Structure 1
Amino acid sequence: MDSKMEEKDFLACCGSKKFAEEMTSSGPFANLDQAIDAARDIWFNKVDVNGWLEAFAAHPQIGQNPSAKHPSDTSAQWSKGEQSTALQTATDSSLQELSDWNARYWKKFGFVFLICASGRTASEILAELKRRYPNRPIVEFEIAAQEQMKVTELRLAKLFSTQVKAASISTQNPETAAKKAGEDRVSIIGAHLTATSEASAGKTPQISPRTRPPITTHVLDVARGSPAAGIEVRLEMWKGNQPRPLFGQEDEGGWVLEGSSITDKDGRSGQLMSMIDALNPGIYKISFNTGKYCPSGFFPYVSILFEIKESQKWEHFHVPLLLSPFSFSTYRGS
């Protein structure tokens, strides 16, 4: 896109001033993917510990109304939308429990509990808070940084969507712009009605083509605080006689290679499978040759198994690896 975004726009996406300054100087960006690539590099390689803490501090406590004090603030409005599912599903008792656990978390780690709350219920968030609470501070700090990046990517998408719409309307004369706005509202309402009627009729709504492979990964070296380059990655799908590999027999025959790659300087694996619209439901496995990357480490290789259900075949699955010589973790990203 041609219009140059301002520092305040990027500050709304991530509360680190260093991040906003670097993004502003790196722009303008031709598209969202280019902006996200720059954002990841800046966040993990150029923003220091103080910048991470500054970004964490910009987030409200989960369960609070973030726009109560600053109703016109873009970041607060976005945060309110991201927490909408949690707030809608919360009860007085669950909100109180969230508040109590947030206070315990703050006392232990020194920063707000950070999670990409979009689409998550209050009970899901509370369960994740309790699960992460026993973590060592250095581990939790890294997880919080990863969650911040998820939030930043969502907000960059919102920012680009807003900018594109504004640019489109600004190039039209007032009469055409008004007509276009009306058409957009009708299109949105019509899309919702179509999706609802198709769902009630048992039909699959039409999905727009993908812009990236449906399964992706990246590797972050937690011990060094940097992307892990040069790691061999394999993606396989289970196609054995059993519907799924039995527990204890996960490494027996039946796995079919979908693709392989090597992580680049940003820790990303490149294309592991073909650009397809609908995934085949089933069990998938991503394997990482961690022993070659870290010969002195505890893990000769790491394999992550996950299941994609029929209802999820149109979704995107980002399954990263957070690695240190003696531990690793993963999550489902976006």
Structure 2
Amino acid sequence: MHLEQFNAASRTEADDALRPCLDIQRWIDEIADARPFSDLESLLEAGRRAADPFTPAEIDAALAHHPRIGERAQGDSTEARLSHSEQAGLGEADAAVAEALAEGNRTYDEKFGQVFLIRAAGRSREEILAALNSRLGNTPEEEQAVIGQQLREIAVLRLEGLIGK
């Protein structure tokens, strides 16, 4: 969808376009209500502003839609296709890295009670593993802040990819 189409879209169409970027209704509402945008950068800035900060409930809701790193998102929704694409960009992992990621995911889930979330786009599996291991040292409060930042990055990258110039 081009920016002009997004600006002219019905509210339902705008919501539908935004939802795969981040399925948080407040975020969707803030962006859809701010239309029209003069350019892509103003749209992306609106996405950043609407995403800062997220409430703990919003983070929990968003995490429910994200697969673990190294696992495929289920279904064929736009959000699942975006996740597949983002993780496909990681390339093939050797067996040791794949096992370390799986073990790290389990440890993270045990410690924090949720999926490990990171912006995968632009990162290698080794970089993700290093970040995972580092973040295991966070307190739950520190981790919530990191997750919020990662969700913002994912949402804005997806928004940029879905809404062309």
Common fold: TM-score over 0.5: yes
Distance 1:91 1:63 in 2: 12
2:133 is the counterpart of 1:110 = no
Kindly provide the CA deviation profile for residues 108-140 of structure 1, in whole angstroms up to 9, marking residues without a partner as x.
Answer: 112211111112221211111001111111111
Deviation at 1:85, TM superposition (A): 2.9
Q: How does 1:200-279 map to 2 (within 5 A)?
A: none
Q: How does 1:240-319 map to 2 (within 5 A)?
A: none
Deviation at 1:18, TM superposition (A): 2.2
Residue in 2 that maps onto 1:70: 75
Deviation at 1:31, TM superposition (A): 2.0
Deviation at 1:11, TM superposition (A): 1.3
- Equivalent residue in structure 2 for 1:11, among 4, 12, 19: 19
- Equivalent residue in structure 2 for 1:20, among 20, 24, 28: 28
CA contact 2:70–2:101 (8 Å) conserved in 1: yes
Distance 1:36 1:85 in 2: 22
Residue in 1 that maps onto 2:102: 99
- Equivalent residue in structure 2 for 1:44, among 44, 52, 64: 52
Residue in 1 that maps onto 2:63: 56
* Structure with more helix by fraction: 2
The aligned amino acid for 2:84 is K
CA contact 1:89–1:121 (8 Å) conserved in 2: no
4+ residue runs of structure 1 moved beyond 3 angstroms?
A: none
| TM-align CA RMSD | 1.8
CA contact 2:44–2:156 (8 Å) conserved in 1: yes
Aligned length: 157
Q: Secondary structure at the match of 2:159?
A: helix
With normalisation by structure 2, the TM-score equals 0.85
With normalisation by structure 1, the TM-score equals 0.44
- Equivalent residue in structure 2 for 1:80, among 81, 84, 103: 84
* Structure with more strand by fraction: 1
Residue in 2 that maps onto 1:209: none
Residue in 2 that maps onto 1:189: none
Gaps of at least 5 residues in structure 2 are none
Gaps of at least 5 residues in structure 1 are 165-334
Residue in 1 that maps onto 2:142: 139
Larger relative contact order (C-alpha < 8 A, sep ≥ 6)?
Answer: 2
Identity %: 29
Distance 1:35 1:111 in 2: 30
Q: Does the C-alpha gap of structure 1 residues 119 and 40 become closer, same or farther in structure 2, counting only changes over 3 Å?
A: closer
CA contact 1:8–1:20 (8 Å) conserved in 2: no
- Who wins on radius of gyration, i.e. which is larger? 1
Deviation at 1:34, TM superposition (A): 1.4
